[in-house]
């Protein structure tokens, strides 16, 4: 396994909810990760669902790859597919098939730069997984560490 190095520091976003960062993975490909809170309307919806206790997380991965589905070690069940406007490629919707796990993800290819795959994760897994891909784990860990220090600075 290659070493994952942190390439860029993000510019503090205008939105207080979002932060983003780039990782270089295995020499060739770069992963752009973005973490954002939900928009106000979505927050409202969430809070009415579970009493407003839980914070929802969203991670957006942008990878440059020929393969649409990057194996992150989790088991996903596809539950939908849609054509999005201004995009010739369709977007796929997946849900984590672990029982009781509510994590969702969307996979979508850029219309302009079709080499880029955008993977959006909604929520966090509250369970372990045997087959966790090391690179994915490492990226998320680095990203969380980064976010912690970022939050401390403010």
Partner DNA sequence: CGGTTTTGACCTGCGC
Partner DNA sequence: GCGCAGGTCAAAACCG
Question: Which positions ≥6 away from 23 have C-beta within 8 Å?
Answer: 4, 5, 6, 7, 30, 31, 32, 33, 139, 142, 143
Pick the binder of DNA from 79, 111, 126, 144 (CB under 7 A): 79
The answer to the question of residue 85 lying near DNA (CB under 7 A) is: yes
The answer to the question of residue 45 lying near DNA (CB under 7 A) is: yes
The answer to the question of residue 57 lying near DNA (CB under 7 A) is: no
Total number of residues shown for the chain: 154
Which range of residues in 2-10, 56-64, 81-89, 129-137 is near DNA by CB under 7 A? 81-89
Rounded to a whole number, what is the distance in angstroms from the first to the last CA of the chain? 34
Rounded CA separation 72/17 (Å): 25
Which range of residues in 10-18, 22-30, 86-94, 130-138 is near DNA by CB under 7 A? 86-94
What minimum distance in Å lies between the beta carbon of 152 and DNA?
32
How does DSSP classify residue 17? T
Beta strands of 26-147 (E only): which ranges? 29-36, 58-64, 76-83, 90-96, 104-109, 116-122
Site for DNA in 124-153 (CB under 7 A): none
Which range of residues in 5-13, 15-23, 29-37, 71-79 is near DNA by CB under 7 A? 71-79
Encoded one letter per residue, x for contact with DNA by CB under 7 A and - for no contact, window 92-131 reads -x---x------x-x-------------------------
Tell me if residue 152 falls in helix, strand or coil: helix
């Amino acid at each position: 396994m290659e070493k994952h190095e942190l390439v860029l520091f993000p510019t503090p976003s205008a939105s207080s909810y979002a932060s983003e960062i780039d990782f270089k993975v295995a020499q060739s490909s770069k992963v752009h990760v973005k973490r954002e809170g939900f928009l106000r309307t979505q927050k409202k919806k969430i809070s009415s669902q579970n009493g407003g206790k839980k914070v929802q997380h969203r991670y957006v991965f942008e990878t440059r790859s020929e393969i649409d589905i990057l194996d992150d070690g989790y088991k996903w069940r596809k539950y939908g597919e849609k054509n999005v406007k201004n995009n010739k490629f369709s977007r796929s919707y997946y849900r984590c098939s672990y029982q009781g796990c509510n994590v969702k993800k969307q996979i979508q290819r850029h219309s302009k730069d079709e080499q880029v795959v955008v993977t959006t994760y909604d929520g966090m897994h509250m369970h372990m997984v045997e087959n966790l891909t090391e690179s994915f784990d490492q990226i998320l860990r680095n990203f969380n560490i980064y976010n912690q220090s970022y939050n401390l600075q403010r």
